[in-house]
Amino acid sequence: MFVTECEGFSVYQFVWRAINSNAYVVCGKDSLLIVDPIDSEEFYRFVQKQSVQYALVLLTHSHYDHISGLNKLKQIVLDCRVVASKACSDNIQTPKKNLSNIADAIISFQERVDHKAEIVNLAETLVEPFSCEPADETFVEEMDVVWNGHNLRLTEYSGHSKDSVCCIMDYKYMFSGDTLLPIPTVTRLPGGSTARFWEEDMPKLEKLSEQIVMVFPGHEMPGALKDMIKVNVKPARYRGRNKV
């Protein structure tokens, strides 16, 4: 578990060892804000320790490594309000669309190409295809939510996947999912689009570069929005095109 101190609250970060995806938890007086619940015993124990009956759960997109703990979380916290884009809510309901049907192949490939990552025994990270119930509340394009006195603005992005969302908390902290990482954004998975990333997502992110003080990504460690933008080098074919 890693902890980042923000203005008036702490963000607890948990990592799913299978593919190094992040879940984030913010503790309120009698409830939790949870972004992308993962299948991690450390994550489950932390949530149980808070002894709350309500959690607001935000999903940044439908890929299995960002929803792997959702079903068990609902058993731990009986009142979970899950909020996601309409497309994400639709996709989490089937193994093919949430990619859990090919999870083992993705994990195996990552282990072979990422020499910096700790080698993980595949037997320990076996992912059976799974599905989740639809979100309790969905939206298209943009939505504002208030939790424990904090403003949350959810906005759709579509480069990494058509169902991705970034959440800005209190106008300065961003939970970016896989839309923006400290490594180049992956746009070649099913539903992703390099064109959408550069022509739609990146212009929106660049406009936020002076506003956002910290980004909590779906993988790797939190950092500055400007630094994460810099690691994405625009392909020549997209240079000079008009921004949206």
User: What pTM was computed for the model?
Assistant: 0.92
Provide the pLDDT for residue 106.
66
pLDDT of residue 158: 96
Specify the pLDDT at position 237.
86
Q: What is the CATH number of domain 2-238?
A: 3.60.15.10
Please give the average pLDDT of every successive group of 10 residues along the chain, which has 244 residues.
Answer: 96 92 96 97 97 96 97 96 98 96 68 47 70 98 97 97 98 98 93 95 95 97 96 85 50
3-state secondary structure the chain: CEEEECCCCEEEEEEECCCCEEEEEEECCCEEEEECCCCCHHHHHHHHHHCCCEEEEECCCCCHHHCCCHHHHHHHCCEEEEEEEHHHHHHCCCHHHHCHHHHHHHHHHHHHHCCCCCCCCHHHCCCCCCCCCCCCEEECCEEEEEECCEEEEEEEECCCCCCEEEEEECCCEEEEECCCCCCCCCCCCCCCCHHHHHHHHHHHHHHCCCCCCEEEECECCCECHHHHHHCCCCCHHHCCCCCC
pLDDT of residue 184: 94
Question: What pLDDT is recorded for position 86?
Answer: 98
Task: Please report, for the chain, the start and end positions of each structural domain, with discontinuous segments joined by +.
Answer: 2-238
